[in-house]
A and B are shown apart, each in its own frame.
Chain A
Amino acid sequence: MLNEKNLPNYFWVEAVTTVIYIMNRTPIAIVHGMTPEEKFTGKKPNVSHLEVFGHIAYVHVPNEKRLKLNPKAVKCIFIKY
C-alpha cells in the first residue's frame, strides 16, 4: 500500500492500522460467514466510509476557522481511519 502511493516507509504505522481495520471488517475462513468485527461485537460492521489508503482528500474547514475569502477545504492525503 505504501509503495502503491509512493508514500515514505515511516507511514508504516498508519498502513498497519488501516490493514488491521480492514481485516477486522472482511470475512475470513475460520469464522464462518462472518467478519471478526461482527463475531466480536454482534453487529454488522458498516463499510460505507472506507477509503483508498493514500488517496487525496479534501478536508472541510469549519466556518469558525476561516474568513470569508479563505478556501473552504484543504488538500490532504488519507492515511488512517
Chain B
Amino acid sequence: MVEQGLQVTFNPNGCFVENMKNQGKLIAKGKRNGRMFTLDVNMPEVNSMLFTRGKGAEDIGIWHKQVGHVNLQRLKLMEKQNLVRSLPKFGTKEVMSKVCEACQSGRQTRHPFPVQTTHVSLKPLEMIHSDVWTTKTESIEGCKYYVSSIDDHTRKVWVYFMKHKGEVFQHFLNFKAMVEKEKGVIIKCLRSDGGGEYFSNEFSEYLKEHGIQRKYSCS
C-alpha cells in the first residue's frame, strides 16, 4: 500500500488509510477492536489498493515467471502485438534484473554441435572409420559381431561378420588389401573408438610398421 503512495496510520480511534498523492484524502477507515484493527477489504477502494501491484511489480522478471517462464522475446511480442490485455509496457531493451534460476536448471539446453566437421578428407582411403557392432542374436553361421569400415571421403561402407572380436585384425588386413588394390592408393589413417579389439599387440605393431596413423573418435 505504501508503494502506491498511501499512508496508513494507527491510533486509538482506529486505522486510517490516506492517499498522500491527493492531499491526504481519507480512503478507508478501519475499526479498532481491542488490540486488533479491522479493515474491510471488500470495500472497492481498499480492494483495488491492496491487490493491484505497484510499479515495482512490472519488472519483466516477474512477468516472465507469471507467464510460465516464457522467454522474453515472446513476452515482448505479446505486449507489442496486443495479444493479451493488461500486460504492462516493456521497453524493447529491457532485460531481467537477474538470471532466472529455475530456467537455468530446468530449461537449459546444450549448444548444438558445429555443423562442419574438423576433418574433411580429400581423397579416397585417406581415412577409414572402423567400429565393431555386436548383437545377442547369433546368425545362421553363428556370427555375433560385425566390423564396419567406412571410407571418410566417399562414405562407402564395407562390413565383415565375425564370430569373435579377435577377427577384426584379419578382416582389416583383407579389407586393406582389397581396397588398396582397387584404388591404387594406401590407407593413411584409421579412426576407431577405444575398443580393445583395435589395441592388440599385432594390430598396433602392424599400424606402426605400415605408417598408418591412428585416431580416436573421442579425444
Contact = CB atoms under 8 A, between A and B. Distances in A.
B151 A13 contact: no
Interface stretch (A17-25, A46-54, A56-64, A66-74): A17-25
Interface in B161-209: 161, 182-183
Given A16-B146, A40-B124, A40-B151, A24 B139 contact: no
A23 B140 CA distance: 23
Given A13-B146, A13-B161, A16-B146, A36 B139 contact: no
B158 A28 contact: no
A50 B154 CA distance: 21
Interface string A6-21: 0001111110110010
B141 interface: yes
Contacts of A12: 135, 137, 139
Contacts of A13: 139-141, 143, 146, 161
B140 A11 contact: yes
Contact of A10 (B137, B158, B182): B137
Contact of B159 (A16, A31, A40, A41): A16
Q: In the complex, which range does the number of interface residues on chain A fall in?
A: 10 to 19
A12 B107 CA distance: 40
A11 B139 contact: yes
Contacts, number: 49
A20 B155 CA distance: 11
Contact of B154 (A9, A11, A16, A31): A31
B156 interface: yes
Given A13-B146, A40-B151, A20 B138 contact: no
A44 interface: no
Nearest to B182: A41
Contact of B156 (A9, A11, A40): A40
Interface of A: 9-14, 16-17, 20, 23-24, 28, 30-31, 36-37, 39-41
Interface of B: 124, 135, 137-141, 143, 146, 148, 151, 153-159, 161, 182-183
Given A13-B141, A40-B124, 19 more contacts: A10-B137, A10-B138, A11-B139, A12-B139, A13-B143, A13-B146, A16-B159, A16-B161, A20-B148, A24-B156, A28-B155, A30-B155, A36-B151, A36-B156, A39-B154, A39-B156, A40-B154, A40-B156, A41-B182
